[in-house]
Structure 1
C-alpha cells in the first residue's frame, strides 16, 4: 500500500510517500504558497492510496489538502489530539487545545522508546514535551523559534538593524549587531537544551529527541539527545499502520 504522510506547519508543508515501508518520494511546499494558491501539487501524490495528515496550518491549508486529495481520489485522515491513546496520556485538561503536531510527535517518540522521553520540536515555535516512563505526559513549554526571536528584535527594537545577516553562526559572542542577534538566538536555544537535559535527569527521563526545521542547526552546536527530523511523519506512519 502506498501511504502519503503530510505534516502541515506554519512555514512548510512537509510530505513523504511510502510503499511497503520504504520512502519512495518526499518533499515540502511553502505554506504561504499553499495559502495564496500558487503551490504546485507534487506529482507523487497521485500514486497514494491513502493519506494521513497532521496540520496546524489553519483552515485554508486544510481545505486545500482536502480538495486536492479528493480530486486525486486519495482518502485522507487528519490526526486528532486525544486524552489517551496507545498508552500515552495527555496532560492537557482540554486536549483539543494542543497542537496536533506535538501529540503525533509524542506518540512516535513513545512508541519508539516505551520509556521516559522528551520531545523538542524546533520549528517556527520551539516546543518541549516531557513523557515519563509510564506514558504520562508531564506537560511542556512553548517558546519562540529562531526566526521569531530575530523578527521580534527587528519589530520591537528600533535600534536593532543590520544590512546583511552573517553567513554562518556560532555560540561565540558576536562582533556586529547582526552576529549578536543571530548567534544570540542559537545561544538561547543551546541554553534551553542544557536545561532540558537537567530536567530530564530530575524526571527520570533517559531519551531526548530533537525534531523540526531548525533541529539540525540546534544539534550542530548542542549535540544533546537524538536527531530525528521526520518525527511527526513517523508518528503519522505509525498511526496508519496501527
Structure 2
C-alpha cells in the first residue's frame, strides 16, 4: 500500500510517504503547487490529512482530485481507530496527540507507554497496555516559555533556545539571560522527569517515546529508557489510514 499522510500543525505542515508499512520519505509541504507536485511524484493509492489549526476540508478536496483511493480526514471524536480512546472529551482532543498514541501502540504493542511530544506545546500522554489512550498533560513548549517571560513582563529580554545546548545547563544563572535559560530549560526537564517518575510508580516497566521538534534537547536529559521517534505522529496517522482502508 502506498500512502501519503499529512499532519498540519501549529508551525508547519508535515508529510510522510509510506510504502508497505515503511516510511520512505518525510518533509514539509505547503497547500499550493508543492502539494500537487508531491502527489504526482509519489502516486499514493490513499491519503490521510490531520490538523490541529485549521479545517482539513481544503486539503482533502485538493487530494481527492489526485488520489484515486481513500482520502481520510482524521477527526479525533469520530474516525474509527485501532486503539481505544478513553478521553472524557474526545471532541476537544488534539488529533496529533491521538495519532501519536496510535503510533505508540503500533511500535510497542501491549506495553505501557508515556508519549512525550516536545513541540510548540509540551505534551505527555499515557497509553495504557498498548491499547487504551487515557490522556495526559499539556504545558507550554520551550519557545513559548521564553516568549511568555518576555511578552508578559516589562524588562525581561527574549532569550532564544540554544541550537546545541550543553547537557548540563548551569542551575544558578549569574545574569538575567542565564537565569531565564536555567528556569525554562532546567524547569522543563525537571517537569518531564517528574512526570516520568510518577507514571513509573503506576507501571515499573514503562517505556517512553519522545517526539517533536525539541526531542533532541530532551533526549539526553530524561530518565531512561527513552526511545526517540521523530515521526511518531506520521506513523500513527498511517496506521489510522490502514485501519480505515481495511474495515
1:121 aligned onto 2:122 = no
- Higher mean alpha-carbon deviation, 227-236 vs 83-92, is at 83-92
User: Are 2:70 and 1:86 equivalent residues in the alignment?
Assistant: no
1:108 corresponds in structure 2 to 103
The 8 Å contact of residues 60 and 72 in structure 2, kept in 1 or not, is answered as no
> Could you list the runs of 5+ residues in structure 1 that have no partner in the other structure?
none
1:21 aligns with 2:21: yes
Distance 1:240 1:135 in 2: 17
CA contact (8 A) 1:105 1:235 kept: yes
Equivalence for 1:157: 153
TM-score in terms of structure 2 length: 0.81
Equivalent-residue separation in structure 1 for 2:92 and 2:161 (angstroms): 36
Moved more, 101-110 or 143-152: 101-110
CA distance in 2 between counterparts of 1:157 and 1:172 reads: 23
How far apart are the structure 2 equivalents of 1:78 and 1:238? 14
Compare relative contact order (CA 8 Å, sep 6+) and give the higher one, 1 or 2: 2
Match of 1:222 in 2: 222
Q: Distance in 2 between matches of 1:49 and 1:128?
A: 33
Counterpart of 1:76 in structure 2 is: 71
Query: Residues 14 and 162 of structure 1: is their aligned pair in 2 closer, same or farther, counting only changes over 3 Å?
Result: closer
Match of 2:93 among 94, 98, 101: 98
1:144 paired to 2:140: yes
**Structure 2 CA distance for aligned equivalents of residues 42 and 5 of structure 1:** 14
Q: Which moved more, 1:135-144 or 1:68-77?
A: 68-77
User: What is the distance in 1 between the residues matched to 2:23 and 2:154?
Assistant: 47
Using the TM superposition, name which of 130-139 and 194-203 deviates more.
130-139
Q: In structure 1, the residue corresponding to 2:123 is in which secondary structure?
A: strand
C-alpha separation in 2, matches of 1:164 and 1:4:
34
How much has 1:48 moved relative to structure 2?
Answer: 2.0
- The answer to whether the 8 Å contact 1:91/1:136 transfers is no
Inter-partner Cα distance in structure 1 for 2:104 and 2:217: 21
1:201 aligns with 2:195: no
Please give the root-mean-square deviation of Cα atoms over the aligned residues, in Å: 2.7
Give the 3 Å change call, closer, same or farther, for CA 4–85 of structure 1 in structure 2.
closer
Q: 1:232 maps to which residue?
A: 233
What is the CA–CA distance in structure 2 between the aligned matches of 1:78 and 1:127, rounded to whole Å? 23
Shift of the 134–3 alpha-carbon distance from structure 1 to 2, 3 Å rule, reads closer
Query: Aligned residue for 2:170?
Result: 172
Change (3 A) 1:167 1:97: closer
Instruction: Note the C-alpha offset of 1:131.
Output: 2.6
Task: Tell whether 2:184 aligns with 1:190.
Answer: no
Aligned length: 233
1:100 is displaced (CA, Å) by 1.0
Question: Partners of 1:116 and 1:165 in 2: how far apart?
Answer: 31
Q: State TM-score, norm by structure 1.
A: 0.83
